Structure 1
Protein backbone atom coordinates (compact mmCIF):
# COMPACT_ATOMS: atom_id res chain seq x y z
CA UNK A 1 0.00 0.00 0.00
CA UNK A 2 1.31 3.44 -0.92
CA UNK A 3 0.85 5.98 1.85
CA UNK A 4 1.14 9.71 1.23
CA UNK A 5 1.90 12.09 4.07
CA UNK A 6 1.45 15.83 3.64
CA UNK A 7 3.40 17.59 6.37
CA UNK A 8 6.49 15.85 7.73
CA UNK A 9 6.42 17.22 11.26
CA UNK A 10 5.86 15.54 14.61
CA UNK A 11 2.71 13.59 13.68
CA UNK A 12 3.35 13.01 9.98
CA UNK A 13 6.95 12.06 10.59
CA UNK A 14 6.02 9.71 13.45
CA UNK A 15 3.39 7.97 11.32
CA UNK A 16 5.99 7.48 8.59
CA UNK A 17 8.64 6.15 10.98
CA UNK A 18 6.33 3.46 12.31
CA UNK A 19 4.89 2.41 8.94
CA UNK A 20 8.38 2.19 7.45
CA UNK A 21 9.12 -0.61 9.91
CA UNK A 22 6.17 -2.67 8.67
CA UNK A 23 5.96 -4.79 5.51
CA UNK A 24 3.73 -3.73 2.65
CA UNK A 25 3.95 0.05 2.96
CA UNK A 26 5.64 2.58 0.67
CA UNK A 27 5.89 6.06 2.19
CA UNK A 28 5.63 9.21 0.07
CA UNK A 29 6.10 12.57 1.80
CA UNK A 30 5.26 16.11 0.79
CA UNK A 31 6.63 19.18 2.55
CA UNK A 32 6.77 22.87 1.71
CA UNK A 33 10.51 22.95 2.38
CA UNK A 34 12.93 21.14 0.03
CA UNK A 35 15.36 20.70 2.93
CA UNK A 36 12.75 18.76 4.90
CA UNK A 37 12.12 16.49 1.91
CA UNK A 38 15.83 15.82 1.56
CA UNK A 39 16.26 15.12 5.26
CA UNK A 40 13.24 12.81 5.38
CA UNK A 41 14.61 10.64 2.57
CA UNK A 42 18.19 10.72 3.89
CA UNK A 43 17.05 9.61 7.36
CA UNK A 44 14.84 6.87 5.97
CA UNK A 45 11.65 8.44 7.27
CA UNK A 46 10.01 8.10 3.82
CA UNK A 47 10.88 6.32 0.58
CA UNK A 48 10.46 9.45 -1.51
CA UNK A 49 9.58 13.09 -0.85
CA UNK A 50 8.79 16.22 -2.83
CA UNK A 51 7.42 19.72 -2.53
CA UNK A 52 4.92 18.84 -5.30
CA UNK A 53 1.57 17.11 -4.72
CA UNK A 54 2.02 15.21 -7.98
CA UNK A 55 4.17 12.72 -6.05
CA UNK A 56 0.97 11.48 -4.39
CA UNK A 57 -0.86 10.60 -7.61
CA UNK A 58 -0.22 6.90 -6.95
CA UNK A 59 -1.08 7.01 -3.22
CA UNK A 60 -3.78 4.71 -1.88
CA UNK A 61 -4.17 6.70 1.35
CA UNK A 62 -3.04 10.25 2.13
CA UNK A 63 -2.59 11.54 5.67
CA UNK A 64 -3.10 15.31 5.92
CA UNK A 65 -0.73 16.59 8.60
CA UNK A 66 -0.29 20.33 8.00
CA UNK A 67 -1.31 22.88 10.66
CA UNK A 68 -5.02 22.77 11.40
CA UNK A 69 -5.75 26.05 9.64
CA UNK A 70 -4.10 24.86 6.43
CA UNK A 71 -5.85 21.49 6.02
CA UNK A 72 -8.79 22.66 3.88
CA UNK A 73 -6.66 24.69 1.44
CA UNK A 74 -4.17 21.82 1.25
CA UNK A 75 -6.97 19.49 0.16
CA UNK A 76 -8.12 21.88 -2.55
CA UNK A 77 -4.62 21.93 -4.03
CA UNK A 78 -4.18 18.17 -3.61
CA UNK A 79 -7.41 16.85 -5.14
CA UNK A 80 -6.45 17.27 -8.84
CA UNK A 81 -3.58 14.83 -8.30
CA UNK A 82 -5.59 11.99 -6.73
CA UNK A 83 -7.42 9.01 -8.17
CA UNK A 84 -11.12 8.70 -7.21
CA UNK A 85 -10.34 5.73 -4.96
CA UNK A 86 -7.71 7.53 -2.86
CA UNK A 87 -8.64 7.73 0.80
CA UNK A 88 -7.94 11.01 2.56
CA UNK A 89 -7.67 11.38 6.32
CA UNK A 90 -6.44 14.19 8.53
CA UNK A 91 -4.85 14.32 11.98
CA UNK A 92 -6.32 17.62 13.20
CA UNK A 93 -7.33 18.06 16.84
CA UNK A 94 -10.66 19.66 15.84
CA UNK A 95 -13.00 17.66 13.64
CA UNK A 96 -16.37 19.27 12.86
CA UNK A 97 -15.13 22.26 10.78
CA UNK A 98 -12.62 20.04 8.96
CA UNK A 99 -15.19 17.37 8.13
CA UNK A 100 -17.70 20.00 7.01
CA UNK A 101 -15.11 21.57 4.70
CA UNK A 102 -13.65 18.42 3.14
CA UNK A 103 -16.41 15.78 3.05
CA UNK A 104 -18.39 17.62 0.32
CA UNK A 105 -15.23 17.81 -1.80
CA UNK A 106 -14.05 14.20 -1.42
CA UNK A 107 -16.26 11.20 -0.75
CA UNK A 108 -13.42 9.04 0.58
CA UNK A 109 -12.51 11.40 3.42
CA UNK A 110 -12.26 10.09 6.99
CA UNK A 111 -11.75 12.59 9.79
CA UNK A 112 -9.08 11.41 12.20
CA UNK A 113 -7.30 12.48 15.35
CA UNK A 114 -4.41 10.50 16.85
CA UNK A 115 -4.40 11.51 20.53
CA UNK A 116 -0.64 11.66 20.92
CA UNK A 117 2.07 14.26 20.73
CA UNK A 118 4.82 16.18 22.48
CA UNK A 119 5.63 19.84 23.04
CA UNK A 120 8.10 19.73 20.13
CA UNK A 121 7.45 20.22 16.43
CA UNK A 122 9.09 19.58 13.07
CA UNK A 123 10.71 16.52 11.55
CA UNK A 124 13.30 16.37 14.34
CA UNK A 125 10.46 15.82 16.82
CA UNK A 126 9.18 12.70 15.03
CA UNK A 127 9.60 9.51 17.02
CA UNK A 128 8.83 5.82 16.80
CA UNK A 129 6.01 4.26 18.83
CA UNK A 130 4.35 7.63 19.46
CA UNK A 131 0.87 6.12 19.02
CA UNK A 132 1.28 2.88 20.94
CA UNK A 133 -1.69 2.37 23.30
CA UNK A 134 -2.98 5.87 22.52
CA UNK A 135 -6.49 6.69 21.33
CA UNK A 136 -6.89 7.22 17.59
CA UNK A 137 -10.31 8.76 16.96
CA UNK A 138 -12.12 8.50 13.63
CA UNK A 139 -15.15 10.70 12.93
CA UNK A 140 -17.03 9.30 9.92
CA UNK A 141 -20.40 10.76 8.92
CA UNK A 142 -23.38 9.18 7.17
CA UNK A 143 -21.86 9.63 3.71
CA UNK A 144 -18.42 8.22 4.60
CA UNK A 145 -17.84 4.88 2.83
CA UNK A 146 -17.37 2.09 5.42
CA UNK A 147 -14.46 0.65 3.42
CA UNK A 148 -12.63 3.98 3.66
CA UNK A 149 -13.16 4.02 7.44
CA UNK A 150 -11.86 0.47 7.76
CA UNK A 151 -8.79 1.29 5.65
CA UNK A 152 -7.79 4.14 7.98
CA UNK A 153 -8.72 2.11 11.06
CA UNK A 154 -6.49 -0.73 9.86
CA UNK A 155 -3.52 1.60 9.47
CA UNK A 156 -4.16 3.11 12.91
CA UNK A 157 -4.27 -0.35 14.43
CA UNK A 158 -0.95 -1.18 12.73
CA UNK A 159 0.46 1.78 14.69
CA UNK A 160 -0.75 -0.13 17.79
CA UNK A 161 -3.20 2.62 18.64
CA UNK A 162 -6.68 2.05 20.11
CA UNK A 163 -9.24 3.03 17.47
CA UNK A 164 -12.49 4.76 18.44
CA UNK A 165 -15.30 6.26 16.35
CA UNK A 166 -17.65 9.11 17.20
CA UNK A 167 -19.52 12.05 15.71
CA UNK A 168 -17.29 15.04 14.79
CA UNK A 169 -19.20 17.39 17.11
CA UNK A 170 -19.04 14.95 20.03
CA UNK A 171 -15.29 14.62 19.45
CA UNK A 172 -14.81 18.38 19.61
CA UNK A 173 -16.79 18.74 22.83
CA UNK A 174 -14.88 15.90 24.46
CA UNK A 175 -11.42 17.13 23.50
CA UNK A 176 -12.33 20.62 24.66
CA UNK A 177 -12.31 19.14 28.18
CA UNK A 178 -9.28 16.88 28.10
CA UNK A 179 -7.00 18.49 25.51
CA UNK A 180 -7.86 22.09 24.67
CA UNK A 181 -8.83 23.25 28.18
CA UNK A 182 -5.57 21.89 29.68
CA UNK A 183 -3.54 23.86 27.13
CA UNK A 184 -5.25 27.12 28.11
CA UNK A 185 -5.11 26.37 31.84
CA UNK A 186 -1.44 25.42 31.61
CA UNK A 187 -0.62 28.55 29.63
CA UNK A 188 -2.49 30.65 32.19
CA UNK A 189 -0.49 29.03 35.00
CA UNK A 190 2.77 30.14 33.39
CA UNK A 191 1.36 33.62 32.73
CA UNK A 192 0.17 33.88 36.35
CA UNK A 193 3.63 33.05 37.68
CA UNK A 194 5.08 35.82 35.55
CA UNK A 195 2.83 38.31 37.36
CA UNK A 196 5.01 38.01 40.47
CA UNK A 197 6.35 41.54 40.87
CA UNK A 198 9.23 40.68 43.18
CA UNK A 199 12.11 39.63 40.93
CA UNK A 200 13.79 37.70 43.74
CA UNK A 201 10.65 35.65 44.42
CA UNK A 202 10.19 34.99 40.71
CA UNK A 203 13.75 33.71 40.36
CA UNK A 204 13.31 31.51 43.41
CA UNK A 205 10.12 30.09 41.89
CA UNK A 206 12.01 29.28 38.67
CA UNK A 207 14.80 27.67 40.68
CA UNK A 208 12.46 25.59 42.85
CA UNK A 209 10.14 24.47 40.03
CA UNK A 210 10.12 20.69 39.88
CA UNK A 211 7.87 17.81 38.83
CA UNK A 212 4.57 19.40 39.87
CA UNK A 213 5.15 22.55 37.84
CA UNK A 214 6.73 20.57 35.01
CA UNK A 215 3.68 18.32 34.70
CA UNK A 216 1.07 21.05 34.89
CA UNK A 217 2.90 23.52 32.63
CA UNK A 218 4.01 21.10 29.90
CA UNK A 219 1.18 21.59 27.40
CA UNK A 220 1.13 25.35 28.03
CA UNK A 221 4.75 25.44 26.88
CA UNK A 222 3.97 23.67 23.60
CA UNK A 223 3.51 24.87 20.03
CA UNK A 224 1.69 28.27 20.17
CA UNK A 225 0.22 27.77 16.68
CA UNK A 226 -1.45 24.55 17.78
CA UNK A 227 -3.00 26.20 20.82
CA UNK A 228 -4.25 29.09 18.71
CA UNK A 229 -5.87 26.72 16.22
CA UNK A 230 -7.59 24.83 19.05
CA UNK A 231 -9.17 28.07 20.24
CA UNK A 232 -10.04 29.37 16.78
CA UNK A 233 -11.61 26.20 15.40
CA UNK A 234 -13.19 24.86 18.60
CA UNK A 235 -14.17 28.21 20.06
CA UNK A 236 -17.61 27.49 21.50
CA UNK A 237 -16.77 24.13 23.07
CA UNK A 238 -13.55 25.55 24.51
CA UNK A 239 -15.34 28.60 25.94
CA UNK A 240 -17.89 26.32 27.59
CA UNK A 241 -15.15 24.28 29.25
CA UNK A 242 -13.19 27.39 30.27
CA UNK A 243 -16.26 28.98 31.87
CA UNK A 244 -17.00 25.81 33.81
CA UNK A 245 -13.37 25.64 34.91
CA UNK A 246 -13.54 29.27 36.04
CA UNK A 247 -16.62 28.46 38.13
CA UNK A 248 -14.81 25.55 39.76
CA UNK A 249 -11.76 27.71 40.44
CA UNK A 250 -14.00 30.39 42.01
CA UNK A 251 -15.51 27.69 44.21
CA UNK A 252 -12.07 26.59 45.37
CA UNK A 253 -11.10 30.20 46.11
CA UNK A 254 -14.26 30.61 48.19
CA UNK A 255 -13.50 27.50 50.25
CA UNK A 256 -10.02 28.76 51.03
CA UNK A 257 -11.22 32.30 51.83
CA UNK A 258 -13.79 30.84 54.21
CA UNK A 259 -11.23 28.46 55.71
CA UNK A 260 -13.68 25.64 55.05
CA UNK A 261 -11.04 22.95 55.29
CA UNK A 262 -13.48 20.07 55.61
CA UNK A 263 -15.20 20.98 52.36
CA UNK A 264 -11.85 21.50 50.64
CA UNK A 265 -10.62 18.11 51.85
CA UNK A 266 -13.79 16.46 50.56
CA UNK A 267 -13.30 18.15 47.20
CA UNK A 268 -9.68 16.98 46.96
CA UNK A 269 -10.68 13.45 47.93
CA UNK A 270 -13.30 13.43 45.19
CA UNK A 271 -10.87 14.58 42.53
CA UNK A 272 -8.26 12.09 43.74
CA UNK A 273 -10.77 9.26 43.38
CA UNK A 274 -12.02 10.43 39.97
CA UNK A 275 -8.69 11.09 38.22
CA UNK A 276 -7.88 7.42 37.49
CA UNK A 277 -11.06 7.14 35.40
CA UNK A 278 -9.48 9.65 32.98
CA UNK A 279 -5.84 8.64 32.84
CA UNK A 280 -5.41 5.02 33.96
Structure 2
Protein backbone atom coordinates (compact mmCIF):
# COMPACT_ATOMS: atom_id res chain seq x y z
CA UNK A 1 0.00 0.00 0.00
CA UNK A 2 1.15 3.55 -0.70
CA UNK A 3 0.87 5.57 2.51
CA UNK A 4 1.50 9.28 3.04
CA UNK A 5 2.59 11.00 6.23
CA UNK A 6 2.31 14.76 6.66
CA UNK A 7 4.50 15.88 9.54
CA UNK A 8 7.71 13.97 10.18
CA UNK A 9 8.16 14.32 13.92
CA UNK A 10 8.05 11.72 16.68
CA UNK A 11 4.67 10.23 15.71
CA UNK A 12 5.01 10.60 11.95
CA UNK A 13 8.55 9.27 11.94
CA UNK A 14 7.65 6.32 14.16
CA UNK A 15 4.70 5.48 11.91
CA UNK A 16 7.04 5.56 8.94
CA UNK A 17 9.44 3.09 10.55
CA UNK A 18 6.71 0.55 11.29
CA UNK A 19 4.80 0.93 8.03
CA UNK A 20 7.94 0.53 5.92
CA UNK A 21 8.91 -2.57 7.89
CA UNK A 22 5.59 -4.10 6.82
CA UNK A 23 6.34 -3.52 3.15
CA UNK A 24 4.28 -0.39 2.55
CA UNK A 25 5.76 2.39 0.44
CA UNK A 26 5.83 5.52 2.61
CA UNK A 27 5.82 9.09 1.31
CA UNK A 28 6.59 11.87 3.78
CA UNK A 29 5.97 15.60 3.71
CA UNK A 30 7.58 18.11 6.07
CA UNK A 31 7.85 21.89 6.23
CA UNK A 32 11.65 21.67 6.23
CA UNK A 33 13.85 20.23 3.51
CA UNK A 34 16.38 19.22 6.16
CA UNK A 35 13.77 17.07 7.92
CA UNK A 36 12.88 15.40 4.62
CA UNK A 37 16.52 14.52 4.05
CA UNK A 38 16.91 13.17 7.59
CA UNK A 39 13.76 11.05 7.27
CA UNK A 40 15.09 9.42 4.10
CA UNK A 41 18.54 8.89 5.62
CA UNK A 42 17.13 7.38 8.83
CA UNK A 43 14.77 5.11 6.92
CA UNK A 44 11.48 6.60 8.13
CA UNK A 45 10.20 7.11 4.57
CA UNK A 46 10.94 6.00 1.01
CA UNK A 47 10.47 9.47 -0.45
CA UNK A 48 10.03 12.90 1.13
CA UNK A 49 9.28 16.44 0.01
CA UNK A 50 8.11 19.82 1.24
CA UNK A 51 5.45 19.67 -1.49
CA UNK A 52 2.11 17.98 -0.83
CA UNK A 53 1.94 16.94 -4.48
CA UNK A 54 4.19 14.05 -3.53
CA UNK A 55 1.17 12.38 -1.89
CA UNK A 56 -0.96 12.28 -5.07
CA UNK A 57 -0.54 8.49 -5.57
CA UNK A 58 -1.20 7.53 -1.95
CA UNK A 59 -4.11 5.39 -0.78
CA UNK A 60 -4.01 6.51 2.86
CA UNK A 61 -2.61 9.70 4.43
CA UNK A 62 -1.81 10.26 8.12
CA UNK A 63 -1.76 13.92 9.21
CA UNK A 64 0.84 14.10 12.00
CA UNK A 65 1.36 17.84 12.30
CA UNK A 66 0.77 19.97 15.42
CA UNK A 67 -2.96 20.37 16.15
CA UNK A 68 -3.15 23.92 14.79
CA UNK A 69 -1.89 22.79 11.36
CA UNK A 70 -4.06 19.71 10.85
CA UNK A 71 -7.09 21.41 9.27
CA UNK A 72 -5.04 23.86 7.12
CA UNK A 73 -2.88 20.99 5.86
CA UNK A 74 -5.92 18.89 4.93
CA UNK A 75 -7.45 21.83 3.06
CA UNK A 76 -4.29 22.10 0.97
CA UNK A 77 -3.82 18.37 0.61
CA UNK A 78 -7.21 17.36 -0.77
CA UNK A 79 -6.57 19.14 -4.08
CA UNK A 80 -3.86 16.57 -4.78
CA UNK A 81 -5.64 13.35 -3.74
CA UNK A 82 -7.81 10.79 -5.44
CA UNK A 83 -11.40 10.92 -4.09
CA UNK A 84 -10.93 7.38 -2.77
CA UNK A 85 -7.91 8.23 -0.63
CA UNK A 86 -8.49 7.73 3.09
CA UNK A 87 -7.31 10.56 5.34
CA UNK A 88 -6.80 10.31 9.10
CA UNK A 89 -5.03 12.39 11.74
CA UNK A 90 -3.25 11.77 15.05
CA UNK A 91 -4.27 14.93 16.93
CA UNK A 92 -4.81 14.76 20.70
CA UNK A 93 -8.08 16.73 20.33
CA UNK A 94 -10.81 15.34 18.13
CA UNK A 95 -14.10 17.29 18.11
CA UNK A 96 -12.95 20.50 16.38
CA UNK A 97 -10.82 18.54 13.90
CA UNK A 98 -13.55 16.07 12.95
CA UNK A 99 -16.13 18.85 12.69
CA UNK A 100 -13.90 20.86 10.36
CA UNK A 101 -12.62 18.07 8.09
CA UNK A 102 -15.62 15.74 7.73
CA UNK A 103 -17.52 18.18 5.43
CA UNK A 104 -14.36 18.59 3.32
CA UNK A 105 -13.46 14.94 2.77
CA UNK A 106 -15.82 11.97 2.83
CA UNK A 107 -13.11 9.40 3.53
CA UNK A 108 -11.83 11.03 6.73
CA UNK A 109 -11.67 9.37 10.13
CA UNK A 110 -10.25 11.01 13.24
CA UNK A 111 -7.60 9.15 15.21
CA UNK A 112 -5.35 9.56 18.24
CA UNK A 113 -2.53 7.16 19.16
CA UNK A 114 -1.93 7.39 22.91
CA UNK A 115 1.81 6.96 22.57
CA UNK A 116 4.84 9.20 22.72
CA UNK A 117 7.87 10.30 24.66
CA UNK A 118 9.14 13.55 26.14
CA UNK A 119 11.31 14.03 23.04
CA UNK A 120 10.22 15.49 19.72
CA UNK A 121 11.41 15.71 16.13
CA UNK A 122 12.37 13.12 13.55
CA UNK A 123 15.41 12.07 15.59
CA UNK A 124 13.08 10.99 18.42
CA UNK A 125 11.17 8.55 16.19
CA UNK A 126 11.38 4.93 17.28
CA UNK A 127 10.24 1.55 16.09
CA UNK A 128 7.31 -0.25 17.75
CA UNK A 129 6.19 2.94 19.54
CA UNK A 130 2.53 1.97 19.24
CA UNK A 131 2.69 -1.64 20.43
CA UNK A 132 0.17 -2.32 23.21
CA UNK A 133 -0.75 1.37 23.33
CA UNK A 134 -4.34 2.66 22.99
CA UNK A 135 -5.27 4.07 19.59
CA UNK A 136 -8.61 5.91 19.51
CA UNK A 137 -10.70 6.16 16.33
CA UNK A 138 -13.64 8.57 16.15
CA UNK A 139 -15.70 7.84 13.02
CA UNK A 140 -18.92 9.72 12.33
CA UNK A 141 -22.18 8.00 11.34
CA UNK A 142 -21.46 9.20 7.80
CA UNK A 143 -17.90 7.84 7.66
CA UNK A 144 -17.67 5.17 4.91
CA UNK A 145 -17.15 1.66 6.30
CA UNK A 146 -14.24 1.19 3.90
CA UNK A 147 -12.37 4.16 5.42
CA UNK A 148 -12.89 2.75 8.91
CA UNK A 149 -11.76 -0.71 7.84
CA UNK A 150 -8.60 0.55 6.11
CA UNK A 151 -7.41 2.61 9.07
CA UNK A 152 -8.39 -0.11 11.54
CA UNK A 153 -6.30 -2.67 9.64
CA UNK A 154 -3.24 -0.41 9.68
CA UNK A 155 -3.66 0.42 13.38
CA UNK A 156 -3.99 -3.27 14.27
CA UNK A 157 -0.81 -3.99 12.31
CA UNK A 158 1.00 -1.50 14.57
CA UNK A 159 0.11 -3.64 17.57
CA UNK A 160 -2.17 -0.99 19.09
CA UNK A 161 -5.35 -1.50 21.11
CA UNK A 162 -8.21 0.12 19.22
CA UNK A 163 -10.97 2.07 20.97
CA UNK A 164 -13.96 3.66 19.23
CA UNK A 165 -15.82 6.64 20.64
CA UNK A 166 -17.45 9.93 19.70
CA UNK A 167 -15.09 12.89 19.26
CA UNK A 168 -16.62 14.72 22.23
CA UNK A 169 -16.24 11.67 24.47
CA UNK A 170 -12.60 11.42 23.49
CA UNK A 171 -11.93 15.04 24.35
CA UNK A 172 -13.55 14.77 27.78
CA UNK A 173 -11.62 11.58 28.55
CA UNK A 174 -8.21 12.92 27.51
CA UNK A 175 -8.84 16.16 29.40
CA UNK A 176 -8.75 14.03 32.57
CA UNK A 177 -5.81 11.74 31.89
CA UNK A 178 -3.63 13.77 29.52
CA UNK A 179 -4.39 17.48 29.36
CA UNK A 180 -5.20 18.07 33.05
CA UNK A 181 -1.97 16.33 34.19
CA UNK A 182 0.05 18.66 31.97
CA UNK A 183 -1.50 21.72 33.59
CA UNK A 184 -1.25 20.29 37.12
CA UNK A 185 2.39 19.38 36.53
CA UNK A 186 3.03 22.84 35.10
CA UNK A 187 1.54 24.43 38.21
CA UNK A 188 3.70 22.19 40.42
CA UNK A 189 6.91 23.37 38.75
CA UNK A 190 5.78 27.01 38.87
CA UNK A 191 4.95 26.69 42.58
CA UNK A 192 8.34 25.18 43.36
CA UNK A 193 10.34 27.87 41.58
CA UNK A 194 8.33 30.54 43.40
CA UNK A 195 10.29 29.72 46.59
CA UNK A 196 11.83 33.08 47.59
CA UNK A 197 14.72 31.77 49.69
CA UNK A 198 17.49 30.88 47.20
CA UNK A 199 19.13 28.47 49.65
CA UNK A 200 15.88 26.57 50.17
CA UNK A 201 15.24 26.52 46.43
CA UNK A 202 18.73 25.16 45.78
CA UNK A 203 18.27 22.52 48.47
CA UNK A 204 14.94 21.46 46.98
CA UNK A 205 16.57 21.13 43.56
CA UNK A 206 19.37 19.03 45.04
CA UNK A 207 16.96 16.76 46.90
CA UNK A 208 14.46 16.27 44.06
CA UNK A 209 14.23 12.60 43.13
CA UNK A 210 11.80 10.11 41.61
CA UNK A 211 8.63 11.60 43.15
CA UNK A 212 9.26 15.03 41.71
CA UNK A 213 10.57 13.59 38.45
CA UNK A 214 7.38 11.56 37.92
CA UNK A 215 4.94 14.33 38.83
CA UNK A 216 6.76 17.10 36.95
CA UNK A 217 7.62 15.24 33.73
CA UNK A 218 4.65 16.24 31.56
CA UNK A 219 4.68 19.82 32.84
CA UNK A 220 8.27 20.17 31.69
CA UNK A 221 7.50 18.96 28.17
CA UNK A 222 6.86 20.68 24.85
CA UNK A 223 5.27 24.13 25.59
CA UNK A 224 3.66 24.30 22.13
CA UNK A 225 1.84 21.04 22.74
CA UNK A 226 0.56 22.28 26.10
CA UNK A 227 -0.83 25.45 24.55
CA UNK A 228 -2.51 23.44 21.77
CA UNK A 229 -4.20 21.19 24.34
CA UNK A 230 -5.58 24.20 26.18
CA UNK A 231 -6.60 26.06 23.04
CA UNK A 232 -8.36 23.24 21.20
CA UNK A 233 -9.80 21.34 24.17
CA UNK A 234 -10.55 24.48 26.17
CA UNK A 235 -13.98 23.71 27.57
CA UNK A 236 -13.28 20.13 28.65
CA UNK A 237 -9.95 21.18 30.17
CA UNK A 238 -11.52 24.07 32.08
CA UNK A 239 -14.12 21.69 33.50
CA UNK A 240 -11.39 19.27 34.59
CA UNK A 241 -9.30 22.05 36.11
CA UNK A 242 -12.26 23.38 38.07
CA UNK A 243 -12.99 19.92 39.48
CA UNK A 244 -9.30 19.50 40.33
CA UNK A 245 -9.31 22.87 42.10
CA UNK A 246 -12.35 21.72 44.11
CA UNK A 247 -10.50 18.58 45.22
CA UNK A 248 -7.40 20.61 46.07
CA UNK A 249 -9.51 22.98 48.18
CA UNK A 250 -10.92 19.95 50.03
CA UNK A 251 -7.41 18.75 50.86
CA UNK A 252 -6.40 22.22 52.06
CA UNK A 253 -9.47 22.33 54.30
CA UNK A 254 -8.78 18.90 55.82
CA UNK A 255 -5.18 19.82 56.60
CA UNK A 256 -6.18 23.19 58.05
CA UNK A 257 -8.72 21.43 60.28
CA UNK A 258 -6.23 18.68 61.13
CA UNK A 259 -8.86 16.13 60.13
CA UNK A 260 -6.39 13.30 59.65
CA UNK A 261 -8.99 10.52 59.64
CA UNK A 262 -10.93 11.91 56.67
CA UNK A 263 -7.66 12.73 54.90
CA UNK A 264 -6.51 9.13 55.34
CA UNK A 265 -9.85 7.86 54.01
CA UNK A 266 -9.45 10.03 50.91
CA UNK A 267 -5.92 8.80 50.36
CA UNK A 268 -7.07 5.20 50.74
CA UNK A 269 -9.79 5.72 48.11
CA UNK A 270 -7.19 7.18 45.75
CA UNK A 271 -4.87 4.26 46.40
CA UNK A 272 -7.67 1.87 45.43
CA UNK A 273 -8.71 3.88 42.35
CA UNK A 274 -5.29 4.41 40.76
CA UNK A 275 -4.85 0.86 39.38
CA UNK A 276 -7.99 1.38 37.28
CA UNK A 277 -6.06 3.98 35.30
CA UNK A 278 -2.48 2.74 35.16
CA UNK A 279 -2.46 -1.04 35.56
TM-score range, shorter chain: over 0.9
Determine helix, strand or coil for the equivalent of 2:48.
strand
Q: Which residue number corresponds to residue 11 of structure 1?
A: 11
Q: Which residues of 2 match residues 131-280 of structure 1 at below 5 A?
A: 131-280=130-279
Q: After TM superposition, where is structure 1 displaced by more than 2 Å over at least 4 residues in a row?
A: none
Alignment: residue pair count = 279
**In structure 1, what is the Cα distance between the partners aligned to 2:81 and 2:94?**
22
**In structure 1, what is the Cα distance between the partners aligned to 2:92 and 2:269?**
29
Superposed CA offset, 1:97-146 (max 9, x none)? 00011000000000000011112111011111111111000000111011
Alpha-carbon offset, residue 18 of structure 1:
1.4
Alpha-carbon offset, residue 279 of structure 1:
0.9
Determine helix, strand or coil for the equivalent of 1:249.
helix
Q: Which residue number corresponds to residue 111 of structure 2?
A: 112
TM-score, structure 2 as length reference: 0.99
Q: Which 5+ residue runs of structure 1 have no aligned equivalent?
A: none
Superposed CA offset, 1:206-240 (max 9, x none)? 11111111111111111111110110011110000
Superposed CA offset, 1:139-173 (max 9, x none)? 00111011101111111111100001100011101
Q: Which residue number corresponds to residue 53 of structure 2?
A: 54
Q: What CA RMSD, in Å, does the superposition of the two structures yield over aligned residues?
A: 0.7
**In structure 1, what is the Cα distance between the partners aligned to 2:200 and 2:21?**
50
**In structure 2, what is the Cα distance between the partners aligned to 1:17 and 1:254?**
51
**In structure 2, what is the Cα distance between the partners aligned to 1:41 and 1:57?**
19
TM-score, structure 1 as length reference: 0.98
**In structure 1, what is the Cα distance between the partners aligned to 2:89 and 2:80?**
17
Q: Which 5+ residue runs of structure 2 have no aligned equivalent?
A: none
**In structure 2, what is the Cα distance between the partners aligned to 1:90 and 1:244?**
30
**In structure 2, what is the Cα distance between the partners aligned to 1:206 and 1:14?**
34
